[in-house]
C-alpha cells in the first residue's frame, strides 16, 4: 500500500484536497498481491458528481465482491490539480491505493453525458495511457466504456479498446472470468480482445470497419475478421430481484451532489416519451419487490449513517408499491429523522396523501416536467399529459401546502411552432391562477413558479433519432419569443424563466448522433484546451469552432439534417432491445400527433417482450 500520490504541499494549495485522498468510510482496500484483476472505475467528471452516480456504486460493489478483483475509483482532476499534474508529471491515480492508473489491468469509464467526452481524453492523457487504442501496447490497461452514451459509441470508438452495452450484472462476470483465465495463461492483448468480442454485449471497435458514400452517409458497417458478430446485443437483467446493490456505499469525505442513500426501486419506464432515450434503452420496465427494498434500505442506512434516502427510478410515481414503501420508510426511520426524497414524479400520478408526509419534499419546491406548452405538442412527444391533469395536479399540490413549483420544458421539438412556444407561458400563467383560486387560508404566501427550458437533442434508439435539430439561432429566437410572451402574463412577477445554452445543445446533438469522423473533432478540441464542457464556466465555443474548422467536419450536416428512414445509422449495429420497426412507427405517429398508450395500458410491440421479464409478463388482470 503506497502513501498519498500527492504530497502535502500540493494538497494544501488545491481546492478540496479531500477529492483525491481516499480513505472514505466503506471504501474497499485489498492486497494487490492477492488479486488477479485490478480495475480502475472512472467517472470522467469531478469527484462530487461521480460519487453521486448509482451505477458506478453498483459496479464497484459487484466487482469487489469477487476475491480475484480489486476495483478502485478514479475521477477527473479539477482544473487546478490538472495543471499541477501536468507540470509535475504526476500520473493520474486511483483513490484507494493511490497507485497510477497505468499499472491497472482495466480502466473502465462510465459515459453518462456527451459533454464529458473531452474529459475522457483528459483521464487517458493524465494517466499516461495513449489516447488512441491502436497505439497501446501489452503493458497498457484495457480501456472499456459503458453507460447510456455507448448506445452510439462511434464518436469515441478510436479511444476505447472495448465497450460494454447493457446492464453490467449480466456479462461482466463472464468477461472478468475470461480475462483472469487468459492472464494466467499469458495470452496477448489481441487474443483477449478476440475472446471478449464473443461475449454478449461486448463491442470491440477495432474489429469493425465503417465505409461512407460520396454524400457522407454511412454505406456499410461490418466486422473485419471472422467470428465477430455483426450485431452487438444489449444485455438486460430480466430478474431485477437479482440486481446488485451496494450494501455499504462509499460515504464521500466532502458533500456530494447526491449526498444520500440511493435506493433503486425500478429500471425502465412504462411511458414511452418519444424524446427519451432512457425510456427506450432500459426497457422492459422492471420493479424490485417491496420487501427486498425494505431490507436494502435498512442495510444501506445502517452502513452509511446517511440521513436521507432517495428512491431512484425514471418515474418514481409509477412504482406499484410506492405508498407501502413510503409508509415503511417514514415509520421505520422516524426516530432517526431520515428524510425521504422522491425524484421523477409525474404530475398525473401525484398523491397528496402520500406526499404530504414526506416532509423534506414539502419544505422545498415540487418539480414537474410537462415538456411542451401545448396539448398538440405533448401528443407529438407522447407525454400523455392533458392540460386538465396538469392543472388539477398543481391545484392539489397547492391545497396541500406547496407554493413553489418548477416546470421543465423543451424548445425545438419536432413540429414545434410559435403557438407551442407561447403555450409554455400560458400554461405557467394558468398554474399561477390555480394557486390564487384556492381559499386564501390555504395559501402559503405568494406562488413562485420557475420555468426552465432546455433545447431538444435527438438521441439514438428513440423515435426522434431521425429528426433534424433547430439551429442555435432559431433556438434563441424561440427563447426571445417565450420571454416576451411571459412578460404579457398577468402573474408574470410570480414566474421566473431560465434557459440553457443553445451552442451546448448543438454540440451535444453532434456528439450524440455522430459517427467515427467525430472523434477527430473531439481530439482536436481537447488539444486546443477543451475540458469540463459540461460546466458552463469552462465551456468555450471558440475551441470547438476551431476544432471543426481544423478537421473539416461540418457540424450542421449532423445536426440540421433529417435522416431518411432507410438510412444506415452509425448505431444500427447495436441490438438495443427495441425494434427499429417500432421506432419507425412511433416516428410516423409523432408526426400525426397520435398518442401511444403506456405499457401497462396496452403492449405496443416494441420488442422488449423478448426478454420475458418485467412489465411485459405482468398479469393484465
Q: What pLDDT sits at residue 298?
A: 95
Name the percent of the chain lying above pLDDT 70.
96
CA atoms within 13 A on the CB side of 83: 6
How far are the Cα atoms of 377, 388, 419 from residue 411, in angstroms, in the given order? Answer: 11, 22, 12
What is the bridge-based pairing of β-strands 208-212 and 218-223?
antiparallel
pLDDT band at residue 359, thresholds of 50, 70 and 90? low
Three-state secondary-structure class, residue 130: coil
Name the domain count of the chain.
Answer: 1
pLDDT band at residue 107, thresholds of 50, 70 and 90? very high
d(CA 174, CA 93): 27
Q: Which three cell numbers stand for residue 225?
A: 475478421
Q: Which three cell numbers stand for residue 543?
A: 475551441
515 occurs within a structural domain: no
Q: What is the largest CA-CA distance in the chain?
A: 77
250 occurs within a structural domain: no
pLDDT band at residue 619, thresholds of 50, 70 and 90? very low
107 occurs within a structural domain: yes
> In CATH, what number is assigned to the domain containing residue 133?
3.40.50.280
d(CA 424, CA 406): 13
How far are the Cα atoms of 162, 311, 394, 449, 497 from residue 402, in angstroms, in the given order? Answer: 49, 21, 9, 11, 19
273 occurs within a structural domain: no
560 occurs within a structural domain: no
Q: What pLDDT sits at residue 252?
A: 93
pLDDT band at residue 242, thresholds of 50, 70 and 90? confident
Burial label, 413 (beta-carbon count in 10 A; 0-12, 13-18, 19+): buried
Residue with cell 490497461: 141
224 occurs within a structural domain: yes
Q: What pLDDT sits at residue 357?
A: 65
- Is the model's pLDDT at 259 over the cut of 90? no
- Is the model's pLDDT at 584 over the cut of 60? yes
How confident is the model over 396-440, as pLDDT tens digits? Answer: 888 878 888 899 999 999 999 999 999 999 999 999 999 999 998
Q: Which of 109-113, 344-348, 559-563 has the lowest mean pLDDT?
A: 344-348
How confident is the model over 223-237, as pLDDT tens digits? Answer: 999 999 999 999 999
Specify the higher pLDDT residue, 338 or 109.
Answer: 109
Q: How many CB atoms lie within 10 A of CB 274?
A: 24
Transcribe 335-368 into DSSP letters: TTT-EEE--S--GGG--HHHHTT-HHHHHS-EEE
How confident is the model over 23-45, as pLDDT tens digits? Answer: 999 999 999 999 999 999 999 99
What is the bridge-based pairing of β-strands 266-267 and 286-287?
antiparallel
What is the Cα gyration radius of the chain? Answer: 25
Sign of CA dihedral 343, 345, 351, 356: positive
Q: Which three cell numbers stand for residue 446?
A: 405568494
Give the mean pLDDT of 505-516.
98
197 occurs within a structural domain: yes
Helix residue ranges per DSSP H, 168-276: 168-184, 189-196
d(CA 281, CA 151): 8
Strand-pairing partners, residue 166, are 235
Q: What pLDDT sits at residue 12?
A: 96
Q: Which three cell numbers stand for residue 215?
A: 454524400
Q: What pLDDT sits at residue 24?
A: 95
Transcribe 11-53 into DSSP letters: HHHSS-GGGTT---BT-----GGG-SEEEEEEESS-HHHHTT-
CB of 461 closer than 8 Å to CB of 511: no
d(CA 44, CA 41): 10
Give the mean pLDDT of 143-163.
98
d(CA 393, CA 398): 9
Q: Which of 173-187, 238-252, 541-555, 577-591 has the lowest mean pLDDT?
A: 238-252
30 occurs within a structural domain: yes
- Is the model's pLDDT at 1 over the cut of 50? no
d(CA 466, CA 155): 18
- Is the model's pLDDT at 336 over the cut of 60? yes
How confident is the model over 41-56, as pLDDT tens digits? Answer: 999 999 999 999 999 9
Burial label, 67 (beta-carbon count in 10 A; 0-12, 13-18, 19+): exposed
Q: What is the DSSP letter of 468?
A: P
- Is the model's pLDDT at 110 over the cut of 80? yes
Chain mean pLDDT for the chain: 93
Categorise residue 487: left if φ over 0, alpha if ψ from -120 to 50, beta otherwise: alpha
d(CA 578, CA 616): 13
* Contacting residues for 549 by C-beta, under 8 A, at least 6 apart: none
| Domain residue limits at 135 | 8-233
CB of 328 closer than 8 Å to CB of 365: no
Amino acid at each position: 500500500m503506497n502513501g498519498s500520490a500527492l504530497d502535502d504541499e500540493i494538497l494544501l494549495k488545491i481546492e478540496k484536497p479531500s477529492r483525491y485522498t481516499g480513505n472514505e468510510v466503506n471504501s474497499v482496500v485489498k492486497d494487490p498481491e492477492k488479486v488477479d484483476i485490478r480495475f480502475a472505475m472512472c467517472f470522467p467528471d469531478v469527484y462530487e458528481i461521480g460519487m453521486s452516480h448509482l451505477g458506478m456504486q453498483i459496479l464497484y460493489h459487484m466487482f469487489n465482491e469477487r476475491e480475484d478483483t480489486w476495483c478502485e475509483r478514479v475521477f477527473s482532476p479539477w482544473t487546478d490539480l490538472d495543471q499541477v499534474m501536468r507540470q509535475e508529471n504526476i500520473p493520474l491515480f486511483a483513490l484507494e491505493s493511490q497507485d497510477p492508473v497505468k499499472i491497472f489491468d482495466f480502466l473502465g469509464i462510465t459515459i453518462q453525458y456527451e459533454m464529458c467526452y473531452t474529459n475522457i481524453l483528459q483521464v487517458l492523457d493524465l494517466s499516461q495511457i495513449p489516447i488512441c487504442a491502436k497505439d497501446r501496447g501489452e503493458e497498457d490497461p484495457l480501456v472499456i466504456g459503458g453507460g447510456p452514451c455507448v448506445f452510439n459509441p462511434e464518436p469515441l470508438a478510436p479511444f476505447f479498446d472495448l465497450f460494454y452495452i447493457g446492464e453490467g450484472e449480466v456479462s461482466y462476470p463472464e468477461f472478468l472470468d475470461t480475462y483472469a483465465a487468459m492472464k494466467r495463461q499469458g495470452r496477448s492483448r489481441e487474443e483477449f480482445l478476440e475472446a471478449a468480442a464473443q461475449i454478449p454485449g461486448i463491442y470491440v471497435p477495432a474489429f469493425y470497419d465503417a465505409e461512407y458514400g460520396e454524400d457522407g452517409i454511412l454505406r456499410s458497417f461490418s466486422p473485419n475478421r471472422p467470428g465477430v458478430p455483426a450485431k452487438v446485443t444489449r444485455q438486460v437483467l430480466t430478474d431485477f430481484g437479482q440486481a446488485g446493490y451496494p450494501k455499504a456505499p462509499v460515504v464521500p469525505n466532502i458533500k456530494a451532489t447526491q449526498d444520500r442513500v440511493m435506493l433503486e426501486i425500478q429500471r425502465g419506464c412504462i411511458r414511452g416519451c418519444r424524446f427519451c432515450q432512457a425510456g427506450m434503452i432500459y426497457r422492459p420496465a422492471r420493479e424490485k419487490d417491496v420487501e427486498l427494498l425494505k431490507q436494502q434500505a435498512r442495510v444501506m442506512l445502517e452502513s452509511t449513517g446517511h440521513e436521507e434516502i432517495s428512491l431512484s427510478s425514471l418515474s418514481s410515481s409509477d412504482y406499484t408499491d410506492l405508498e407501502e414503501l413510503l409508509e415503511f420508510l417514514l415509520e421505520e426511520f422516524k426516530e432517526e429523522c431520515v428524510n425521504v426524497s422522491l425524484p421523477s414524479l409525474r404530475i398525473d400520478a401525484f398523491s397528496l396523501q402520500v406526499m404530504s408526509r414526506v416532509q423534506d419534499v414539502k419544505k422545498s419546491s415540487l418539480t414537474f416536467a410537462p415538456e411542451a406548452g401545448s396539448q398538440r405538442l405533448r401528443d407529438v412527444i407522447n407525454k400523455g399529459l392533458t392540460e386538465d391533469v396538469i392543472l388539477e395536479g398543481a391545484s392539489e399540490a397547492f391545497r396541500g401546502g406547496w407554493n413553489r413549483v418548477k416546470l421543465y420544458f423543451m424548445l425545438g421539438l419536432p413540429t414545434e411552432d410559435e403557438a407551442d412556444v407561447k403555450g409554455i407561458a400560458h400554461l405557467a400563467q394558468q398554474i399561477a391562477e390555480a394557486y390564487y383560486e384556492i381559499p386564501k387560508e390555504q395559501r402559503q404566501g405568494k406562488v413562485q413558479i420557475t420555468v426552465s427550458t432546455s433545447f431538444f437533442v435527438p438521441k439514438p434508439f428513440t423515435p426522434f433519432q431521425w429528426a433534424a435539430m433547430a439551429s442555435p439561432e432559431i433556438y434563441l429566437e424561440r427563447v426571445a419569443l417565450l420571454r416576451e410572451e411571459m412578460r404579457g402574463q398577468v402573474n408574470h412577477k410570480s414566474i421566473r424563466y431560465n434557459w440553457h445554452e443553445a451552442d451546448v445543445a448543438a454540440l451535444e446533438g453532434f456528439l450524440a448522433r455522430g459517427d467515427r469522423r467525430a472523434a477527430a473533432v473531439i481530439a482536436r478540441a481537447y488539444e486546443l484546451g477543451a475540458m469540463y464542457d459540461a460546466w458552463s464556466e469552462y465551456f468555450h465555443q471558440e475551441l470547438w469552432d476551431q476544432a471543426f474548422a481544423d478537421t473539416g467536419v461540418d457540424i450542421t450536416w449532423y445536426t440540421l439534417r433529417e435522416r431518411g428512414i432507410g438510412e444506415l445509422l452509425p448505431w444500427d449495429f447495436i441490438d438495443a432491445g427495441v425494434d427499429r420497426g417500432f421506432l419507425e412507427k412511433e416516428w410516423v405517429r409523432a408526426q400525426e400527433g397520435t398518442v401511444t398508450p403506456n405499457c401497462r395500458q396496452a403492449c405496443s410491440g416494441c420488442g422488449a417482450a423478448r426478454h420475458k421479464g418485467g412489465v411485459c409478463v405482468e398479469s393484465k388482470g
